[in-house]
Amino acid sequence: MAVGLPGAAGAAYRSLPALTKTYETVVAPLVAETLEDPAERARVDGSLRVMSVKFGLAMLSYGRLTGRRTQLDVAVLAGAVTRLYDDLIDGRGGGSGDGSGDGGGDTGADDRLGELMGHRAFVPGTAPELLLERLVYGIEGALRHPPHASLLTALASLHEYQVLSRRQREADVPLDVLEKITRGKGAAAHLILCGLVKPVLEPAERELVMDLGETLQSLDDYMDVEFDRENGVTTLVSCGVLTLPGIARRLRAARPRLVAVHGGRAARPYCGMLYFLLLQAWVARRLPVLGRLARRPARRSAVLAFLSRGEDALPPAAPEHP
């Protein structure tokens, strides 16, 4: 997989300035217009900037893999939506809007966000929810056509798994539930991102996208394992079921499938991108000081933003105690 690393690195380096500029013109104004508190605005802007670059690069890589043009505005908006939605579903964002104040168990927020993800009438309960609405509909406006039915199905599925992921805060969450969450969240999220590039996927490609999504979700859990432990979140990684060598074997097994679907020439840089993510995860865990050094100046450098984990857009919810 490392053979494609130089090509992937070159493509990423060339794309970073354009992604950063697009973020400044598309996402940053929405953050500034929606959030009044300066501290909240700065935190959200810094976090969404990092994720817009990361997910933007991933979507551009998939576009090159499939021979499809990827819209930069859609890519940065999708990255911002992913980060903000994930934090909101975790029960963050300055209150529930319905007075419940129950953090991760805010069913009012679940219902509201379900309406938004289901492409139904949505009434935001907080300023971050209003920002999420503007970002989501910004994607539809940039696409200039209604979302494909497969995207709406994947969005509804993702919301179901995101709500189920609240069980990861339970001390005795069953292993089969963790496996279901990891598979469901990863597969649905990756289907959405890839579907924004190529709405209609052939069966073999769709299955491959879903399997890669599960593996990338596991890789993300590996990188965040210490953070998750601090916040009372259980994952397959934190309980020892998944290890980095196991995740690496899954990525390596995907390579011949990528070649079979897309051809060796197109798959080579994409595999290089996957290899880089694996290498980045290893460095982040084995040499955490590098991650901390990259994290602080991430707002001023697109390259460092890509290399850093970045902050959450909204403060973590407090760990739940019985």
Sign of the alpha-carbon torsion through 202, 204, 205, 206: positive
CA distances from 200 to 206, 215, 318 (A): 9, 22, 40
Along the 322 residues of the chain, how does pLDDT read in single tens digits? 889 999 999 999 899 999 999 999 999 999 999 999 999 999 999 999 999 999 999 999 999 999 999 999 999 999 999 999 998 987 655 443 443 434 444 568 889 999 998 888 899 999 999 999 999 999 999 998 888 888 989 999 999 999 999 899 998 999 999 999 999 999 999 999 999 999 999 999 999 999 999 999 999 999 889 888 988 999 999 999 999 999 999 999 999 999 999 999 999 999 999 999 999 888 877 776 655 555 554 455 545 455 555 677 777 655 554 4
The one-letter amino acid code at 255 reads R
Cβ proximity of 82 and 158 under 8 Å: no
Q: What is the pLDDT of residues 89-126, one digit of tens each?
A: 876 554 434 434 344 445 688 899 999 988 888 999 99
- CA 37/CA 53 separation, integer angstroms: 24
Per-residue pLDDT, 312: 75
pLDDT in tens, 249-264: 999 999 999 999 999 9
Residues in the chain: 322
Structural domains in the chain plus CATH codes? 2-307 (1.10.600.10)
In the numeric block, the tokens 């299955």 are attached to 207
In order, the DSSP letters of 89-146 are HTT-SS--SSS---GGG-HHHHHHHHHHHTTS----SSHHHHHHHHHHHHHHHHHTSP
Q: How far is the C-alpha of 262 from the C-alpha of 67, rounded, in Å?
A: 9
SS3 state of residue 231: coil
